A and B are shown apart, each in its own frame.
Chain A
Amino acid sequence: MTANVSTPVHKQVKAVIPPESRAGLLLKTFRSARAWIVLALAVAIWEAAVRILDTPKYVLPAPSAMIVEFQENYSLFLNGLWATTRMSLYGLAAAIVIGVALGIAMGRSALFEELAFPFLNIIRVMPTIAIAPLLIIWFGRGGVPIVICSCLIAVFPIIVDVAHGLTSVDEDLVNMMKLANASELSILTQIRIPNSLPYLFSSFRVAAPGAVVGALLGEYIGSREGLGYLITVYSAQLNTAAVFVLALLSCLVGLVFFNVCVWLEKIVVPWKTVVR
Chain B
Amino acid sequence: MTAETSTSTAPADRVDLRDVCIVHGRGSSAVVAVEGVDLTVRPREIVSIVGHSGCGKSTLLRALAGLLPHASVQGNLSILGRSPEQARKSGLLSMVFQDPVLAPWRTVEGNIRLPLQVARGRERKPSKTISEQLEVVGLGGYEKRYPKQLSGGQRQRVSLARALMMEPQVLLMDEPFGALDEITRDEMHTELLRIWGTTDASVVVVTHSIPEAVFLSDRIVVMAAHPGRIADVVEVDFPRPRGNDLKDTPEFARIAHRIRTALEENR
Contacts and interface: CB of A to CB of B under 8 A. Distances in A.
Interface in B3-49: none
A197 B93 CA distance: 30
B115 A273 contact: no
Nearest to A182: B118
Contacts of B89: 181
Interface residues of B, number: 34
For chain A, give the interface size range.
20 to 34
B51 interface: no
A190 to B, nearest CB: 6
Contacts of A4: 151
A269 interface: yes
A180 B105 contact: no
Nearest to A269: B105
Contact of B148 (A177, A183, A197, A271): A271
Contacts of A175: 62, 65, 67, 95, 97
A173 B94 CA distance: 12
Contacts of B141: 6
Nearest to A273: B104
Given A1-B149, A177-B115, A179-B65, A170 B120 contact: no
A172 B101 contact: yes
B121 A181 contact: yes
A176 interface: yes
A186 interface: yes
B91 interface: yes
Nearest to B116: A180
Interface in A150-183: 170, 172-173, 175-183
A133 B103 CA distance: 48
B53 to A, nearest CB: 17
Interface string A60-85: 00000000000000000000000000
Given A170-B99, A175-B65, A179-B88, A2 B119 contact: no
Contacts of A179: 65-67, 88, 93-95, 115
A98 interface: no
A249 interface: no
A4 B145 CA distance: 11
A183 B88 contact: no
B118 A186 contact: yes
Nearest to A176: B101
B256 interface: no
Contacts of A170: 99, 101
B97 A172 contact: yes
Contacts of A6: 141
Nearest to A170: B101
B119 to A, nearest CB: 5
A191 interface: yes
A273 B146 CA distance: 12
Interface of B: 62, 65-67, 88-89, 91, 93-95, 97-99, 101, 103-105, 114-122, 141, 146-149, 151, 162, 166
Given A180-B166, A181-B118, 4 more contacts: A173-B103, A175-B67, A180-B116, A190-B118
Interface of A: 1-2, 4, 6, 170, 172-173, 175-183, 186-187, 190-191, 194-195, 197, 269, 271, 273
21 contacts: A2-B149, A170-B101, A172-B98, A172-B101, A175-B67, A176-B95, A176-B97, A176-B101, A176-B162, A179-B66, A179-B115, A180-B114, A180-B115, A181-B91, A182-B115, A182-B119, A182-B120, A191-B103, A194-B105, A195-B103, A271-B105
